[in-house]
A and B are shown apart, each in its own frame.
Chain A
Protein backbone atom coordinates (compact mmCIF):
# COMPACT_ATOMS: atom_id res chain seq x y z
CA UNK A 1 0.00 0.00 0.00
CA UNK A 2 1.89 3.07 -1.29
CA UNK A 3 -0.38 5.74 0.26
CA UNK A 4 0.25 9.17 -1.34
CA UNK A 5 2.87 9.24 -4.09
CA UNK A 6 4.39 12.45 -5.42
CA UNK A 7 6.63 12.90 -8.45
CA UNK A 8 9.21 14.21 -9.01
CA UNK A 9 11.08 14.36 -5.69
CA UNK A 10 13.41 17.14 -6.85
CA UNK A 11 13.19 19.66 -9.67
CA UNK A 12 15.18 22.70 -10.76
CA UNK A 13 13.53 25.19 -13.12
CA UNK A 14 14.55 28.42 -14.74
CA UNK A 15 12.32 31.46 -14.34
CA UNK A 16 9.47 31.30 -16.85
CA UNK A 17 9.55 27.54 -17.37
CA UNK A 18 6.48 25.44 -16.71
CA UNK A 19 6.03 22.11 -15.01
CA UNK A 20 3.44 19.83 -13.46
CA UNK A 21 3.75 18.14 -10.10
CA UNK A 22 1.96 14.81 -9.95
CA UNK A 23 0.15 13.28 -6.99
CA UNK A 24 -1.68 9.98 -6.72
CA UNK A 25 -3.27 8.18 -3.78
CA UNK A 26 -4.36 4.57 -3.58
CA UNK A 27 -6.53 4.82 -0.44
CA UNK A 28 -9.81 5.64 -2.23
CA UNK A 29 -9.84 9.08 -0.58
CA UNK A 30 -12.27 11.75 -1.73
CA UNK A 31 -10.38 14.87 -0.63
CA UNK A 32 -6.94 15.92 -1.84
CA UNK A 33 -4.71 18.90 -1.11
CA UNK A 34 -1.65 20.77 -2.32
CA UNK A 35 0.44 22.60 0.29
CA UNK A 36 3.72 24.47 0.12
CA UNK A 37 6.17 24.61 3.01
CA UNK A 38 8.61 27.46 3.45
CA UNK A 39 11.08 27.90 6.34
CA UNK A 40 9.43 29.35 9.42
CA UNK A 41 6.01 29.59 7.77
CA UNK A 42 4.47 26.18 8.26
CA UNK A 43 2.33 24.69 5.51
CA UNK A 44 0.15 26.96 3.39
CA UNK A 45 -2.73 25.61 1.35
CA UNK A 46 -2.49 26.21 -2.40
CA UNK A 47 -5.54 24.29 -3.66
CA UNK A 48 -8.04 21.83 -2.27
CA UNK A 49 -10.28 19.26 -3.95
CA UNK A 50 -13.15 18.01 -1.82
CA UNK A 51 -14.09 15.35 -4.35
CA UNK A 52 -13.53 14.32 -7.96
CA UNK A 53 -14.49 17.18 -10.26
CA UNK A 54 -14.26 19.96 -7.66
CA UNK A 55 -11.41 22.30 -6.77
CA UNK A 56 -11.17 25.31 -4.49
CA UNK A 57 -8.52 27.95 -3.91
CA UNK A 58 -6.55 27.98 -0.73
CA UNK A 59 -4.46 30.67 0.92
CA UNK A 60 -1.80 31.07 -1.83
CA UNK A 61 -3.26 30.04 -5.24
CA UNK A 62 -1.67 32.73 -7.44
CA UNK A 63 0.66 31.32 -10.09
CA UNK A 64 -0.74 27.78 -9.82
CA UNK A 65 -3.41 25.69 -11.50
CA UNK A 66 -4.72 22.27 -10.53
CA UNK A 67 -6.48 19.35 -12.15
CA UNK A 68 -8.38 16.62 -10.35
CA UNK A 69 -7.97 14.11 -13.14
CA UNK A 70 -9.91 11.36 -11.39
CA UNK A 71 -10.45 10.19 -7.83
CA UNK A 72 -6.83 9.03 -7.50
CA UNK A 73 -4.88 11.89 -9.08
CA UNK A 74 -4.50 15.58 -8.32
CA UNK A 75 -1.87 17.54 -10.25
CA UNK A 76 -0.40 21.00 -9.63
CA UNK A 77 0.84 23.09 -12.55
CA UNK A 78 3.18 26.06 -12.56
CA UNK A 79 2.61 27.85 -15.87
CA UNK A 80 5.48 30.35 -15.60
CA UNK A 81 7.73 29.59 -12.66
CA UNK A 82 9.06 32.42 -10.49
CA UNK A 83 11.82 32.38 -7.83
CA UNK A 84 9.12 33.02 -5.19
CA UNK A 85 7.77 29.55 -5.97
CA UNK A 86 10.94 27.91 -4.68
CA UNK A 87 9.57 25.71 -1.93
CA UNK A 88 8.79 22.18 -0.82
CA UNK A 89 5.42 21.03 -2.14
CA UNK A 90 3.30 18.43 -0.38
CA UNK A 91 0.25 16.58 -1.56
CA UNK A 92 -2.16 15.18 1.03
CA UNK A 93 -5.42 13.27 1.10
CA UNK A 94 -8.17 12.13 3.46
CA UNK A 95 -11.35 10.13 3.12
CA UNK A 96 -13.47 13.28 3.25
CA UNK A 97 -16.32 11.65 5.11
CA UNK A 98 -15.74 12.96 8.62
CA UNK A 99 -13.15 13.51 11.32
CA UNK A 100 -10.35 11.57 9.77
CA UNK A 101 -6.60 12.08 9.52
CA UNK A 102 -4.61 13.67 6.73
CA UNK A 103 -2.09 11.51 4.89
CA UNK A 104 0.90 13.18 3.23
CA UNK A 105 3.23 12.39 0.38
CA UNK A 106 6.99 12.71 0.82
CA UNK A 107 7.21 16.06 -0.95
CA UNK A 108 8.77 17.72 -4.00
CA UNK A 109 11.72 20.05 -3.50
CA UNK A 110 11.42 22.72 -6.21
CA UNK A 111 14.05 25.36 -6.95
CA UNK A 112 13.37 28.17 -9.42
CA UNK A 113 16.49 30.01 -10.54
Chain B
Protein backbone atom coordinates (compact mmCIF):
# COMPACT_ATOMS: atom_id res chain seq x y z
CA UNK B 1 0.00 0.00 0.00
CA UNK B 2 1.33 3.40 -0.95
CA UNK B 3 2.34 5.56 2.03
CA UNK B 4 2.97 9.28 1.60
CA UNK B 5 4.89 11.13 4.32
CA UNK B 6 5.62 14.80 4.80
CA UNK B 7 8.25 15.84 7.32
CA UNK B 8 8.31 18.17 9.19
CA UNK B 9 4.66 18.56 10.17
CA UNK B 10 5.24 22.27 10.87
CA UNK B 11 7.82 24.85 9.88
CA UNK B 12 8.39 28.50 10.78
CA UNK B 13 10.75 30.75 8.79
CA UNK B 14 11.49 34.48 8.66
CA UNK B 15 10.33 36.42 5.63
CA UNK B 16 12.76 36.28 2.73
CA UNK B 17 14.16 32.86 3.55
CA UNK B 18 13.74 30.04 1.01
CA UNK B 19 11.31 27.27 1.95
CA UNK B 20 12.09 23.60 1.37
CA UNK B 21 9.22 21.15 1.82
CA UNK B 22 9.64 17.39 1.58
CA UNK B 23 7.37 14.60 0.41
CA UNK B 24 8.30 10.92 0.37
CA UNK B 25 6.39 7.93 -0.98
CA UNK B 26 6.96 4.21 -0.63
CA UNK B 27 5.90 2.90 -4.06
CA UNK B 28 7.71 4.38 -7.06
CA UNK B 29 4.98 3.20 -9.47
CA UNK B 30 3.30 6.58 -9.77
CA UNK B 31 1.65 8.36 -12.67
CA UNK B 32 2.20 11.86 -11.32
CA UNK B 33 2.61 13.90 -8.15
CA UNK B 34 0.84 17.12 -7.21
CA UNK B 35 1.58 19.80 -4.66
CA UNK B 36 -1.35 21.64 -3.06
CA UNK B 37 -1.81 24.64 -0.84
CA UNK B 38 -4.53 24.77 1.83
CA UNK B 39 -5.47 27.93 3.70
CA UNK B 40 -7.30 27.61 7.06
CA UNK B 41 -10.94 26.65 6.60
CA UNK B 42 -10.56 26.37 2.84
CA UNK B 43 -10.24 23.70 0.20
CA UNK B 44 -7.04 22.67 -1.53
CA UNK B 45 -5.57 24.53 -4.49
CA UNK B 46 -3.26 22.70 -6.89
CA UNK B 47 0.12 24.44 -7.21
CA UNK B 48 2.22 22.17 -9.39
CA UNK B 49 1.80 18.82 -11.09
CA UNK B 50 4.84 16.72 -12.06
CA UNK B 51 4.53 13.82 -14.44
CA UNK B 52 6.45 10.65 -13.55
CA UNK B 53 8.72 11.26 -16.57
CA UNK B 54 9.63 14.78 -15.42
CA UNK B 55 12.37 15.79 -13.03
CA UNK B 56 10.99 19.20 -12.10
CA UNK B 57 8.25 21.74 -12.67
CA UNK B 58 8.35 25.50 -12.09
CA UNK B 59 5.77 28.23 -11.61
CA UNK B 60 6.93 31.66 -10.53
CA UNK B 61 8.69 31.38 -7.15
CA UNK B 62 7.71 27.71 -6.85
CA UNK B 63 9.82 24.80 -8.04
CA UNK B 64 9.03 21.15 -7.48
CA UNK B 65 11.44 18.30 -8.11
CA UNK B 66 10.74 14.60 -8.40
CA UNK B 67 13.11 11.68 -7.84
CA UNK B 68 10.87 8.70 -8.49
CA UNK B 69 13.52 6.05 -7.89
CA UNK B 70 14.19 7.30 -4.36
CA UNK B 71 10.52 8.09 -3.69
CA UNK B 72 10.99 11.79 -3.03
CA UNK B 73 9.65 15.14 -4.12
CA UNK B 74 10.70 18.56 -2.88
CA UNK B 75 8.82 21.83 -3.14
CA UNK B 76 11.00 24.96 -3.10
CA UNK B 77 9.48 28.36 -2.47
CA UNK B 78 11.95 31.17 -3.10
CA UNK B 79 12.06 34.37 -1.05
CA UNK B 80 9.15 33.46 1.23
CA UNK B 81 6.48 36.03 2.09
CA UNK B 82 3.90 36.14 4.92
CA UNK B 83 1.27 35.35 2.28
CA UNK B 84 2.94 31.96 1.77
CA UNK B 85 1.76 30.92 5.24
CA UNK B 86 -0.48 27.89 4.70
CA UNK B 87 -0.44 24.10 4.82
CA UNK B 88 1.21 22.41 1.86
CA UNK B 89 0.20 18.87 0.89
CA UNK B 90 1.54 16.48 -1.69
CA UNK B 91 -0.45 13.74 -3.41
CA UNK B 92 0.62 10.87 -5.65
CA UNK B 93 -1.49 9.26 -8.32
CA UNK B 94 -0.76 5.51 -8.50
CA UNK B 95 0.09 3.73 -11.73
CA UNK B 96 -1.45 0.43 -10.72
CA UNK B 97 -4.79 -0.41 -12.33
CA UNK B 98 -6.58 -1.23 -9.08
CA UNK B 99 -5.70 2.22 -7.73
CA UNK B 100 -5.98 4.17 -10.98
CA UNK B 101 -7.18 7.70 -10.38
CA UNK B 102 -7.13 7.35 -6.59
CA UNK B 103 -4.78 10.00 -5.27
CA UNK B 104 -2.91 9.29 -2.04
CA UNK B 105 -2.22 12.34 0.14
CA UNK B 106 0.41 13.19 2.72
CA UNK B 107 -0.66 14.82 6.00
CA UNK B 108 0.87 18.15 5.02
CA UNK B 109 3.43 20.64 6.33
CA UNK B 110 2.06 23.72 8.09
CA UNK B 111 4.19 26.73 7.17
CA UNK B 112 4.35 30.06 9.00
CA UNK B 113 6.37 32.90 7.46
CA UNK B 114 7.06 35.60 10.04
CA UNK B 115 7.50 39.27 8.98
Contacts and interface: CB of A to CB of B under 8 A. Distances in A.
A96 B31 contact: no
Interface of A: 4, 31, 33, 35, 40-45, 48, 50, 56, 58, 90, 92, 96, 99-107
B114 interface: no
Contact of A102 (B9, B42, B103): B103
Interface residues of B, number: 24
Given A31-B101, A48-B101, A96-B101, A102 B43 contact: no
A102 B91 contact: yes
B76 to A, nearest CB: 19
B61 to A, nearest CB: 19
Interface string B78-108: 0000000000010100000000011111111
A103 B44 CA distance: 8
B43 A42 contact: no
B105 A42 contact: yes
Interface string B33-53: 010100001111110010100
